[in-house]
């Protein structure tokens, strides 16, 4: 029981990170029907920028943790947002309206380029960050020696995810910007006939997804303490899987899919073996898609219009 | 095809919308072959023509999607031929396009809010009340998703949404398509009211030539991407070519 609880906490933490990345995939897919394969790299770059900010502040002698964390996340969000905007501008927009696979190919190219760029400039070795947030709350201390602990960093990750998800859902469902994004998703031509600047709305969607990925990248850095140029690929594939599992195009679906993948992976690792944890996640994805082709919360293809 | 027979009763002054020699292509296919049309302030002008004549293409070309390859479109003194669609629509032009294009997964209210994105938020409540007065049905259905409305309700929503941007010029592409005669009558009545009471200028594409020509001050006939006839609604209705080609039960 204690072991189960501990795995649950770990799984939810990991799932939160996947969920935040998955939102970027799902939103971009929703609005332009394209998988932005470079999104995982945006997450990776977010974590590198957070680390760079940390090191720069340390060199300046600024070590007051709340300030350091705040600056890390703000700078990382701004930089990745700029990256997201640039990628859309140079790699995807010129191809809008051409055949469907063209942007997919540039997306993969962009992904490889960003990975190699970081590998060359930052080196291929892992970069460590000394643990910053230590300790936690002991929830259970059973006599057989198994301790259930909710660490402070886990609390921060889960709380931050809840806050961001809530804010994000409100933006999409209640604000004029969110309505414009949904309008572009449903009928781009009509949206422009109502005065929506479609290109700008698409850019903003990339920017928002990238900013969330940056938060995920920084939390990954704080949680695991090591990053390298390759983390974007692995986390990206998982988050993409999460988005598909939840129903690509659906925001709550992305979150649910993220949680599901995080939990599956953690439990598999906890009860069976580390080796096959990724296989488990993908197998479950395959099974779900057989029975629910549009994912857990995706909308079915047929609809009365 | 350039021998356009023009009526002598055209109103004078600077037109609100002037289309000069516009040619539009879809790839290599030419859909408009030098179209000239004028719409003056306070007028209802209708455009009739057979399927595939190019009517919807003209409506969309006015809005910049697709853009005209040659010719010129002047709105309210500004050349809008090469402006992007969202800039054109921000100049108080609104279109209720062919096929209605209601956002299917948005509620009636959200669809109306989309219509108002270019407007000052201060007008919203007022405009909403007006639209609900014109179409009480929409008020009852405000929480329902656009995609689940009936065809007639969708048409009301499409027109209401267009009105939410406070247009000076309203473009309507086949508002009567697929609707029961009673609803058609109701929608035409709304157009007449808006024109008479608010001075709204309307450019209307219609298959329903009889009703449209009776409603409109002036009309144009389009054949194969060119304007072949122009005149007051009454004049066009009286013409043999129009009656036989566009009015059911015409002289045959
Ligand atoms: N997107 C497009 N791509 C290629 N050709 C098109 C496109 N849209 C319209 N056309 C062609 O342009 C011509 C004019 O079409 P348009 O839709 O303007 O006709 P219309 O007068 O509105 O007809 P209807 O009364 O049936 O609505 C047609 O021959 C049509 O096939
Ligand atoms: Mg048409």
In terms of Cα–Cα distance, which of A140, A217, A210, A162 is closest to A12?
A162
Q: Which domain holds residue B112?
A: 100-166
pLDDT grade for A35, boundaries at 50, 70 and 90: confident
How many angstroms separate the first and last alpha carbons of chain B?
25
Distance CA A233, CA A21 (A): 12
Q: What is the pLDDT of residue A301?
A: 53
Q: What is the pLDDT of residue B40?
A: 97
- CATH number of the domain encompassing residue B176: 3.40.50.300
Q: Give A65-126 as a DSSP string.
A: HHHHHHHHHHHHHHHHHHHHHHHIIIIIGGGTTS-THHHHHHHHHHHHHHHHHHHHHH-SS-
* Highest mean predicted confidence (pLDDT) among A86-95, A290-299, B65-74, B119-128: B65-74
Look at the block and give the residue holding tokens 């949904």.
A182
**pLDDT at residue A25 tops 70:** yes
Express each pLDDT in B80-90 by its tens digit.
999 999 999 99
Q: What angle do CA B47, B53, B58 make, to 5 degrees?
A: 60
- The kind and range of the H/E element at B46 are strand B44-49
Question: What is the DSSP code (8-state) at residue B147?
Answer: G
Q: How do the domains of chain A map onto residue ranges? A: 2-230
Average pLDDT score over chain B: 91
How far CA B241 is from CA of A3, A151, B10, B49, in Å, comes to 87, 84, 21, 12
pLDDT grade for B1, boundaries at 50, 70 and 90: very low
The residues near A211 (Cβ < 8 Å, ≥ 6 apart) are A77, A80, A81, A84
**pLDDT at residue A82 tops 50:** yes
Domain boundary among B111, B138, B166: B166
> Is there a contact between B114 and A304 if contact means CB atoms under 8 Å apart?
no
Residue B252 lies in a domain: no
Residue to mutate among B88, B93, B114, with most A CBs inside 10 A, is B114
Residue B58 lies in a domain: yes
Chain B CA closest to residue A183: B103
Task: For residue A189, list chain B residues with Cβ-Cβ distance below 8 A.
Answer: 65, 101
Q: What is the pLDDT of residue A32?
A: 87
Q: What is the pLDDT of residue B248?
A: 62
Distance CA B25, CA A171 (A): 39
CB B1 within 8 A of CB B13: no
How many Cα atoms occupy the beta-carbon half-sphere of B101 within 13 Å? 23
**pLDDT at residue A206 tops 70:** yes
User: Which residue of B113, B161, B165 is in closest CB contact with A179?
Assistant: B113
- Does one domain contain both B4 and B53? yes
Q: What is the pLDDT of residue B12?
A: 62
Q: Is residue A158 classed as helix, strand or coil in its secondary structure?
A: helix
pTM of the model: 0.90
Express each pLDDT in A135-152 by its tens digit.
888 887 777 777 888 999
- Does one domain contain both B229 and B119? no
| Domain count within chain B | 2
Distance CA B92, CA B94 (A): 6
Percent of chain B with pLDDT over 90: 79
Query: Between B202 and A63, where is the model more confident?
Result: B202
- Does one domain contain both B117 and B220? no
Domain boundary among B119, B140, B166: B166
- How much is the ipTM here? 0.91
Express each pLDDT in A53-79 by its tens digit.
999 999 999 889 999 999 999 999 999
User: Using CA positions, which residue lies closest to atom 12 of ligand 1?
Assistant: B31
- Does one domain contain both B75 and B116? no
Percent of chain A with pLDDT over 70: 98
């Amino acid at each position: 029981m204690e072991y189960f609880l501990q795995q649950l906490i770990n799984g939810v933490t990991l799932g939160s990170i996947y969920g935040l990345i998955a939102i970027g995939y799902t939103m971009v897919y929703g609005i332009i029907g394209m998988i932005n394969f470079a999104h995982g790299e945006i997450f990776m770059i977010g974590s590198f920028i957070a680390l760079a900010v940390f090191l720069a502040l340390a060199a300046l002698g600024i070590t007051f943790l709340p300030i350091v964390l705040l600056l890390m996340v703000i700078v990382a969000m701004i930089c990745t947002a700029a990256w997201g905007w640039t990628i859309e501008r140079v790699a995807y927009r010129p191809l809008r309206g051409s055949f469907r696979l063209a942007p997919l190919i540039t997306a993969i190219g962009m992904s490889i380029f960003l990975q190699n760029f970081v590998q060359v400039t930052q080196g291929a070795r892992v970069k460590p960050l000394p643990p910053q947030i230590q300790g936690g709350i002991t929830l259970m201390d059973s006599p057989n020696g198994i301790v259930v602990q909710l660490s402070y960093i886990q609390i921060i990750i889960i709380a931050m995810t809840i806050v961001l998800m809530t804010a994000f859902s409100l933006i999409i469902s209640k604000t004029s910007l969110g309505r414009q994004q949904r309008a572009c998703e449903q009928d781009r031509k009509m949206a422009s006939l109502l005065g929506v600047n479609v290109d700008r709305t698409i850019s903003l969607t990339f920017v928002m997804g990238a900013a969330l990925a940056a938060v995920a990248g920084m939390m990954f850095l704080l949680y695991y303490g090591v990053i390298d140029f390759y983390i974007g690929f692995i986390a990206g594939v998982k988050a993409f899987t999460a988005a598909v599992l939840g129903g690509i195009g659906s925001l709550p679906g992305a979150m649910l899919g993220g949680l599901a993948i995080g939990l599956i992976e953690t439990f598999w690792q906890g009860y069976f073996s580390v080796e096959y944890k990724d296989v488990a996640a993908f197998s479950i994805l395959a099974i779900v898609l057989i029975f629910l082709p549009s994912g857990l919360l995706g909308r079915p293809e047929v609809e009365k219009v | 095809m350039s021998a356009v027979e023009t009526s002598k009763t055209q109103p004078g002054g600077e037109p609100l919308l002037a289309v000069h020699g516009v040619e539009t292509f879809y790839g290599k296919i030419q859909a408009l072959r030098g179209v000239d049309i004028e719409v003056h302030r306070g007028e209802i002008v209708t455009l009739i023509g057979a399927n595939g004549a190019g009517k919807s293409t003209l409506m969309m070309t006015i809005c910049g999607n697709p853009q005209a390859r040659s010719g010129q479109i002047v709105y309210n003194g500004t050349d809008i031929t090469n402006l992007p669609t969202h800039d054109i629509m921000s100049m108080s032009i609104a279109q209720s396009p062919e096929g209605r294009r209601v956002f299917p997964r948005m509620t009636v209210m959200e669809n109306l809010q989309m219509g108002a994105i270019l407007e000052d938020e201060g007008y919203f409540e007022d405009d909403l009340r007006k639209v609900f007065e014109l179409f009480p049905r929409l008020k009852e259905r405000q929480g329902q998703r656009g995609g689940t409305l009936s065809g007639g309700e969708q048409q009301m929503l499409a027109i209401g949404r267009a009105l939410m941007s406070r247009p000076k010029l309203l473009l309507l592409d086949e508002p009567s398509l697929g609707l029961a005669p009673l609803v058609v009558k109701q929608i035409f009545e709304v157009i007449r009211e808006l024109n008479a009471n608010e001075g709204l200028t309307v450019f209307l594409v219609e298959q329903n030539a009889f009703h449209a020509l009776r409603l409109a001050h002036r009309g144009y006939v389009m054949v194969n991407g060119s304007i072949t006839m122009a005149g007051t609604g009454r004049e066009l209705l009286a013409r043999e070519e129009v009656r036989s080609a566009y009015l059911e039960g015409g002289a045959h």
